[in-house]
Every structure is written in structure tokens, then in C-alpha cells.
Amino acid sequence: MSELLPFEDALKAIDNIQDILVGIEEIAVNNALGRIVSEDIIARSFVPPHDNSAMDGYAFCLADWSKDKVFQISQRIPAGSSPAPLQKGTCARIFTGANIPNDADTVIMQEEATLHEKGVSFQKAPTVKSNIRPKGQDITNGDVIIKKGTKITPMHIGLLSSLGNTQVSVFELLKVGILTTGDELILPGNTLEEGQIFNSNGPMLEALVNQAGYQVSQCLHAKDTPEETEYAINTLLTCSDVIVSSGGVSVGEEDHVKAILEKLGKVHLWKIAIKPGKPLVHASLGNTPFLGLPGNPSSTLVTFHWFARRLLARCAGQTRLLDVSYLVDAGFSRTTTIKRDEFLRVSLGADGLAYAHPQQSSGALMAACESQGYLRIKAHSTIEYGCSYPFYPFTGF
């Protein structure tokens, strides 16, 4: 396992995980934002439930129209009312969203109508079914409206509500244990001693897990000893569906995570051909997946976005995870050949070009805060000014 695994191969390894580690529960639709649907949701009615008007105007039967005819207005139909069948040869004053009366097949918008003392006429030749939204235009009874494994968005909340649904079956929240390692790390709020730094990865990972819609079961920190590392992992195993760690996965004498994983379970992959983020490890501890991320903050962020997010989604029951990207032209160049897939923190200028943040160190978080996303440069390539590369906005993760 000493060779670096290509980036795409590492992604496929995570994407091939099929084990859903959570149960199922029924919850209120209003509380379902960000939850993952546990079964196909079938429409049990039509949306809209009846033909209705797309405009404020007049409803009539096209066969009754002639250019100079003045229609008598036989009824007024506001939205939410139940219209009577249309009297032959007449029209109905109708408003947006109101049901089309029986025997009417056309709506003329009010701007194209001419009012008379005894009614209304329409000079412009209409077409049948114009300005009518047909029954089932959006949803037909029996349609699969949300597929199993879909994460519920605000649009899905509206969709479910449009069908009258008040409950939805979802997967239970995935419980994620977080482990940080390192003698040098102390919690914010304490006084720094010589050689110490504040632990930023723990709070950042908690925030990333929460942002993804999962539950942090426990967040622990272990000093750089095999004993503390093993104790912390065993503790997290008692309360977590998945464990994500940062630090301790490289090849230094104080890096103990990989050795403990080999002792307690099975290591599936180690070291990825990316920058930043090379020393990543994926293992199984019984039925509990473990993903060890590098300890440098930017490496932790990159590998969470690309690997932990995928692993957690699979284990939580989500079947489709899109990586939002589009091609942008580089506003800079680099003649040195890229040896590993590299994720540069960049922002888009007013000219639409991507400009790299001047600080690309794997230990620097400010660069991510001052950038808009990643520019992915594939291994064995260079960066040429004006050439297109995939851009992944942070908002897409």
C-alpha cells in the first residue's frame, strides 16, 4: 500500500460502498429539510388537480368565438371557488389559478379583451387550450416524485406539500464520531504554551458534519501515543456509525492512527495522489467505517470535501452526490508539471478568470476563507493562462 492511489480510483473506492448504516423513521414534512428519503415517494393525486387558468382573463368555448361577437359574462370565477358549467355561448370572468368551468376550453388574457356595455369581445384569434394549465401538468397520479436516497431540499418540501403529504419516511440521522490527534493541539479558550497551537480541525469537522446534515456523536482528542489513540477510537466505536479523524495518518514516528486501524480492523486504502491531502486512510473496524484525514487544516478540508462527504452520504443512505463544477479559464500559468491531482484555492475575477490565492500551504485556512472554490488541475499537466479547468465552488459541497 506504499504507492499513491490515483485520485479517481480513490473516489471509485468510496463510491462503491453500499452499506447503509442507519434505520428508518417517519417524520413531519416540515422537519424533513436535509434528510434522506428511505423509499420512493409516489404521487397519489394530480398537480394541479384540475385544469386551471394561467392568466387573469376570460374563459369560453373556442367554437363560440367570432371576431365581432360580444360575449355575455355569465359568471365570475376567483381562485379557490367551484365554477358552474359554462352557459352555452357565454364567457366567464376568470382569475389566475381558478378552475376552468366545464364546457370552456380557452382563456383569453384580460389585456386582449375589449369591454362593452353588454359584455366583452376578443379581436385576436385565440387558439384552443391557450392559457390553460392542464390537470396533472406538473405531477400525474402514480408518478415517482422523489427517489429513494434523495436528500430533501426546500423544493421537495414544497412538492410534498403540494400533494397534501404531512409525513415522510426518511433514514435516521447518521452518527459521526470525530477524532483529532496531536500533542501540540489544545482547545480554544486555553493559554498557548511554547510549541502549542489551537485545535481548529475538531471544530471545523464538527461544522462540516453538521452542514452535511448528520449528527456528531462525540468529538475526542488524543495525544500522540498508541494507547490514547486506541482508547479514543474504541470510545467512538461505542456511539458512532462512522468515524472521521484528522492527523496521525502519515509516516512519522508520532503518527499512530494507521497502526491502530491495522490492529483493530482492516485498512482498505492509504495515501492518495492529490495535493493537498496525500496521507489519507480508509479502514473498517468491524461494521464501522473509518476515514483518517491528514492533520494540516487545508488538507483536512480538501479530503473531507472529496472523500469524507462521499463516505458519509453512502452510509446515510444517499444514492446520488453531485460535485457541482463548471469550466473556467485560468488567469495565471505554471510551467512546472503537476505530479498529483492538485486542488488550488481560487477566486473568480471580474473578467471571469480564475486567480489562485497566493497562499496554497496545506496548513493555511485563511486561503479557503478568502477564496470561492477549488480549481482542479489533473496530474501530469501544467497550468496555462487562458486554458479551461474544472472549478468547484465551495457552495457546491
- Delimit the domains of the chain by residue range: 7-22+173-316, 24-47+143-171, 52-133, 326-389
Domain 24-47+143-171 has CATH 3.90.1310.10: no
**Pairing relationship of beta strands 73-77 and 91-94 according to DSSP bridges:** parallel
Residue 248 has a pLDDT of 82
Backbone angles phi, psi at 244, to 5 degrees: -120, 130
Bridge partners for 290 per DSSP: 243, 283
* Same fold: 24-47+143-171 with 52-133: no
Residue 104 has a pLDDT of 98
Please count the other Cβ atoms lying within 10 Å of the Cβ belonging to residue 326.
10
Can you read off the three cell numbers belonging to residue 240? 458512532
Note the Cα 1 to chain centre separation in Å.
Answer: 33
DSSP 275-299: ES----EEEEETTEEEEEE-SSHHH
Q: What angle do helix axes 309-316 and 7-15 make, rounded to 10 degrees? A: 20
**CA–CA separation, 306 vs 294, rounded Å?**
13
Backbone angles phi, psi at 75, to 5 degrees: -160, 165
Residue 252 has a pLDDT of 64
Note the Cα 269 to chain centre separation in Å.
Answer: 26
Residue 160 has a pLDDT of 97
Question: With left for phi above 0 and alpha for psi between -120 and 50, is residue 243 left, alpha or beta?
Answer: beta
Residue 253 has a pLDDT of 62
Cβ pair 123, 67 in contact under 8 A? yes
Judged by DSSP in three states, 134 sits in: coil
- Burial code (b: 16+ CB inside 10 Å, e: under 16) for 68-91 equals eeebeebbebeeeeebeebeeebb
Cβ pair 205, 218 in contact under 8 A? no
- What amino acid occupies position 69? K
**CA–CA separation, 309 vs 281, rounded Å?**
14
Cβ pair 275, 342 in contact under 8 A? yes
293, HSE (Cβ side, Cα atoms, 13 Å): 29
Comparing C-alpha atoms, which of 387, 372, 392, 393 is closest to residue 332? 387
Comparing C-alpha atoms, which of 22, 32, 25, 320 is closest to residue 165? 32
CATH code reported for the domain at 52-133: 2.170.190.11
User: pLDDT in tens for each of the 397 residues of the chain?
Assistant: 458 999 999 999 998 887 999 999 999 999 999 999 999 999 999 999 999 999 999 999 999 999 889 999 999 999 999 999 999 999 999 999 999 999 999 999 999 999 999 999 998 888 999 999 999 999 999 999 999 999 999 999 999 999 999 999 999 999 999 999 998 888 888 899 898 999 999 999 999 999 999 999 999 999 989 999 999 999 999 999 999 999 988 766 667 899 999 999 999 999 999 999 999 999 999 999 999 999 999 999 999 999 999 999 999 999 988 889 999 999 999 999 999 999 999 999 999 999 999 999 998 999 999 999 999 999 999 999 999 999 999 999 8
Positions of E strands within 223-280? 242-246, 266-270, 274-275
**CA–CA separation, 284 vs 269, rounded Å?**
10
Judged by DSSP in three states, 315 sits in: helix
The CATH homologous superfamily of the domain defined by 326-389:
MoeA, C-terminal, domain IV (2.40.340.10)
Question: With left for phi above 0 and alpha for psi between -120 and 50, is residue 166 left, alpha or beta?
Answer: alpha
Residue 186 has a pLDDT of 87
CATH code reported for the domain at 7-22+173-316: 3.40.980.10
47, HSE (Cβ side, Cα atoms, 13 Å): 16
